[in-house]
Structure 1
Amino acid sequence: MSDRFALRTELLVRSVSALARGVAGAVLLLAAALSLAGCGSTPLPTYNLSAPSGFTAGGSGNGQLVVVAPTALAVLNTDKIMVEPGAGQVAYLADAQWSDNLPALLHARTIQAFENASKLRRVARPGDGVNADYTLVTDIRTFALRITDQGPVAVVEVSAKLIGTQSGRILAAQVFRAAVPAASSAGANATAALDQAQEQVLVQMVRWASAKF
């Protein structure tokens, strides 16, 4: 009886050991597969927007302006770069991305554009503790590479409203638009054209708003 019990015990130990080795091997294989998958993923090239400089904006008043972050539809509220391959169609570039969500990126460049136009002491963002006389509210209508019969074109369109902070009334409103042909729909060329288009829009908008405060 004791020999039979000892034999059963030995067989049980061997079975458990084999099972443990099998589990350990499976875990190692899974870890290796995950490691290889991580090594195989390549981050997308990341592009930035630049603030226009080397221009001036008029305006003789002493009012202070707060620039609010732009609003945008969900399709534009992302770090993906939008493409319009046809009427009513939306896609994104597969080989490029913005360095931040588009509204946040354009907000920063808008403030820098005002500062570069010699408005450094009169422009701020919400939360800076400034008692603003005016508020600039913007909405990104279009910020995309549009595929046309003549080739890809970077189209940027932003609507702007200048609001009197005390009265809450809209004092002025305008839509700014620029279109710049792109050399191709590749990431580097597409983002370069979009950057040029948004610089043109920002120069127009800064000059328009500065004349009113």
Structure 2
Amino acid sequence: MKQRWRHYLLGAALVVLGFTSGCSILPKSDPQTRFNLPSSALSMATTAQKGVLFVAVPQGNRLISSNYILIQPEHTEIQIYKGTLWADNVPTLLRERLVNAFTEAQLFDAISGDAALRSDLALETYIQRFQVQFDNGQPVVHVQIDAKLVDSNTASILRSQRFHVTRPAQGKEAVQLVAAFGEATDQLSLELMQWLSR
């Protein structure tokens, strides 16, 4: 019995040693440059509507909800822009963009991004596209969401609409693509504010 245990322990030690040595020779991950959306250039003053608007974190599929900068060179193929990441996941970045735009425009008495706080209305969104696509070889940013305005007291949908914004990028470099994402999300914010102000 003791001899059998010695063989077992020796085998286990070799397995652990194998894993340890294997980990030491794994290739190092490529350095990643992280990007925030550029500062908003949007300027729009509105008459504040009564009540508190809660802006929920947008939903999306697993890939869109990551912090990868997505490229779609073909109709169905999705690629990741190598060596770059968003500073946070896309839903969080987009929610912050919308909250800042709505707050600056004084769209409602108050804008909230905290689900624990009481609100009168809620803006819920689902991200369909947040990526770069190529039109005739030229990079174009596509941001598409499905939006719902919900009565927080009754949980009933007051209205819903799909928004699709495109912005051509000045080139294929990461900085140029990020700048186009900034312009696209500014336009999306503007269209949402007009929609919410009806």
Distance 2:130 2:73 in 1: 13
Shift of 1:94: 0.6
Are 1:85 and 2:73 an aligned pair? yes
**Segment of structure 1 superposing worse, 145-154 or 65-74:** 145-154
Query: 1:83–1:201: structure 2 CA closer, same or farther, 3 Å change rule?
Result: same
Superposed CA offset, 1:97-156 (max 9, x none): 100111111111111111111247411023352x21111101111110001215111111
Q: Pairwise mapping of residues 19-98 of structure 1 onto structure 2 (< 5 A)?
A: 42-50=30-38, 52=40, 54-59=42-47, 61-98=49-86
5+ long unaligned stretches in structure 2: 1-20
**Segment of structure 1 superposing worse, 200-209 or 43-52:** 43-52
Shift of 1:207: 2.7
Query: 1:152–1:122: structure 2 CA closer, same or farther, 3 Å change rule?
Result: same
Secondary structure of the 2:82 match is: strand
- Whether contact under 8 Å (2:51, 2:120) holds in the other structure is yes
Shift of 1:206: 2.2
- Identity fraction in percent: 24
Distance 2:163 2:173 in 1: 26
Distance 2:87 2:48 in 1: 36
> Which structure has more helix as a fraction of its residues?
1
Aligned to 1:110: 98
Distance 1:47 1:89 in 2: 23
Q: Return the TM-score normalized by structure 1.
A: 0.74
Q: Pairwise mapping of residues 198-213 of structure 1 onto structure 2 (< 5 A)?
A: 198-209=185-196, 211-212=197-198
Q: Return the TM-score normalized by structure 2.
A: 0.79
Higher-Rg structure is: 1
Distance 1:128 1:121 in 2: 18
Shift of 1:63: 1.6
Q: Pairwise mapping of residues 116-135 of structure 1 onto structure 2 (< 5 A)?
A: 116-119=104-107, 121-129=109-117, 131-135=118-122
**Segment of structure 1 superposing worse, 173-182 or 115-124:** 115-124
Letter in 2 for 1:102: V
- Whether contact under 8 Å (1:53, 1:117) holds in the other structure is no
Shift of 1:57: 4.9
Secondary structure of the 1:200 match is: helix
- Whether contact under 8 Å (1:51, 1:199) holds in the other structure is no
5+ long unaligned stretches in structure 1: 1-29
Query: 1:95–1:187: structure 2 CA closer, same or farther, 3 Å change rule?
Result: farther
Query: 1:120–1:45: structure 2 CA closer, same or farther, 3 Å change rule?
Result: farther
